[in-house]
Amino acid sequence: MPNEKQLSEKESLQLITDMIQKVKNSYHDKGVGPLLWGTVVAIASFVSFLQLQYNFSLPFDIWWIVMGAIIPQIILINQDSKTQKIKRHEDSALNAVWLVYALTIFGLSFFQSVVPNAAEQMMQLNGWQIVKHEINNSKPDEVIKPFTPSFYSMYILIYGFPTLVTGIVKKFWPMIIGAIIAYVLFMISCFTETKYDFLLGAIAAIACWFIPGIILQVKYQKQKRTNV
Amino acid sequence: MFKELDPILHSQLRLAVMSLLISVKEADFTFIKEKTNSTAGNLSVQVQKLKDVGYIEVLKQFKDNYPHTTCKITPIGIGAFENYVKALQEYLKV
């Protein structure tokens, strides 16, 4: 491009349009993050469903694979920041949304692990306890720990939030549709047993992240081939 | 009466640089060079001119032991670019 070439008004407007278009075409999300999270959350949810359905338990908590996925995610973010040649305006806002999402999920897990024991202690201090009583008296009464029924529904609800924001900001329809599916599944899960909530959670993870991740990866590979 | 077009922006390479930077938060020098099909020397001169009038910020740092230059449009640059586009639209009656 010659440095000081004077342009006509029409050429100037065309140049502005071309450059904006070039920026638009140069940025392609590989979809690795959504693929990774979609896979681990879907597997963990589906295995949790199988454990409840077929009464077996693994020697470890399957949800540790979700925690384990944080390591490759950090590596990916680090690699991306090294190779990224442009920063978009929406990048920092979306990063903040996903950070808030991660903190919310962590908060919910903390709530789930702490509140039942704390509630049990408070009940004992007040001199009462929760007893499971079979209506038809088929089994003797059993003291149980306090629990929140259908708690996994809350996770399904939260899966939809960052997905919808990302979909709207990036005008990426697969994520918008995925989030809408998650909200519908959340409503269904309010009426289903806990084990089916896990199954619905697996479907939500596939709709919110796995499928959009595959679409992004296909688009990226297509763009890569075009550029070669 | 038509507005006079900003002489700083009414040049092919400088306008190309500003058009790239208007749609991103910041961009690498190498990215701008690649997208504008310019040479490093030529681009450096034009980037310096844009920096001198306060239209862009240039951040020079080291990344993995290599010099790394990042360019970012300033609020003054955004205003100048918007005025330039408005003036163009008046000329072209679009």
SS (H, E, C) B31-67: HHHHHHCCCHHHHHHHHHHHHHCCCEEEEEEEECCEE
Please give the backbone phi and psi of residue A184, each rounded to the nearest 5 degrees, phi first: -65, -45
pLDDT grade for A214, boundaries at 50, 70 and 90: very high
pLDDT at B1 (0 to 100): 54
Identify the residue with better confidence: A155 or A26.
A155
User: Going by C-beta distance under 8 Å and a sequence separation of 6 or more, which residues neighbour residue A183?
Assistant: A157, A160
What are the chain A neighbours of B49 within 8 Å (beta carbons)?
A: none
Residue B80: inside a domain, yes or no? Answer: yes
pLDDT at B18 (0 to 100): 96
The C-alpha atoms of residue B37 and residue A1 are separated, in whole angstroms, by 6
> What are the angstrom distances between the C-alpha of A172 and each of A15, A80, A119?
27, 20, 43
From first CA to last CA, the distance across chain A in angstroms is 22
Count of domains in chain B? Answer: 1
pLDDT tens by residue, A85-110:
888 888 888 889 988 998 999 898 89
Average pLDDT, chain A: 89
Closest CA to A222 of A23, A18, A28, A22: A28
The C-alpha atoms of residue B55 and residue A146 are separated, in whole angstroms, by 62
pLDDT at A187 (0 to 100): 97
A20–B23 CB contact, under 8 Å: yes
* Residue A16 in this model has a pLDDT that exceeds 70: yes
- The two three-digit tokens of residue A123, written as one number: 């009940």
pLDDT tens by residue, A188-211:
999 999 999 999 999 999 999 999
Query: Dihedral of CA A193/A198/A203/A209: which sign?
Result: positive
pLDDT at A213 (0 to 100): 94
The C-alpha atoms of residue A204 and residue A160 are separated, in whole angstroms, by 8
Residue B3: inside a domain, yes or no? Answer: no
- The two three-digit tokens of residue A158, written as one number: 């939260």
pLDDT at A97 (0 to 100): 92
Angle in degrees, CA A126, A127, A128, rounded to 5: 105
B78 CB within 8 Å of a chain A CB: no
B82 CB within 8 Å of a chain A CB: no
Residue B1: inside a domain, yes or no? Answer: no
Residues spanned by the domain of B27: 12-93
pLDDT at A227 (0 to 100): 63
- The two three-digit tokens of residue A75, written as one number: 């590596």
A155 with A105: CB under 8 angstroms?
A: yes
CATH number at residue B73: 1.10.10.10
A201 with A46: CB under 8 angstroms?
A: no
pLDDT at A85 (0 to 100): 85
Residue B73: inside a domain, yes or no? Answer: yes
Best residue of B2, B3, B12, B81 to probe chain A, by most A CBs closer than 10 Å: B12
pLDDT at A71 (0 to 100): 86
The C-alpha atoms of residue B84 and residue A13 are separated, in whole angstroms, by 10
B10–A89 CB contact, under 8 Å: no
Residue B83: inside a domain, yes or no? Answer: yes
pLDDT at B5 (0 to 100): 83
Residue B30: inside a domain, yes or no? Answer: yes
pLDDT tens by residue, A62-86:
999 988 888 888 888 888 777 788 8
Query: Dihedral of CA A191/A195/A201/A203: which sign?
Result: negative
The C-alpha atoms of residue A12 and residue B35 are separated, in whole angstroms, by 16
Residue B19: inside a domain, yes or no? Answer: yes
pLDDT at B94 (0 to 100): 61
Closest CA to A23 of A80, A86, A79, A91: A86
pLDDT at A210 (0 to 100): 96
Residues 38-57 of B with CB under 8 A from A: 38, 42, 45-46
pLDDT at B61 (0 to 100): 86
What average pLDDT does the segment B76-93 reach? 90
* pTM of the model as a whole: 0.82
pLDDT at A5 (0 to 100): 62
Residue B63: inside a domain, yes or no? Answer: yes
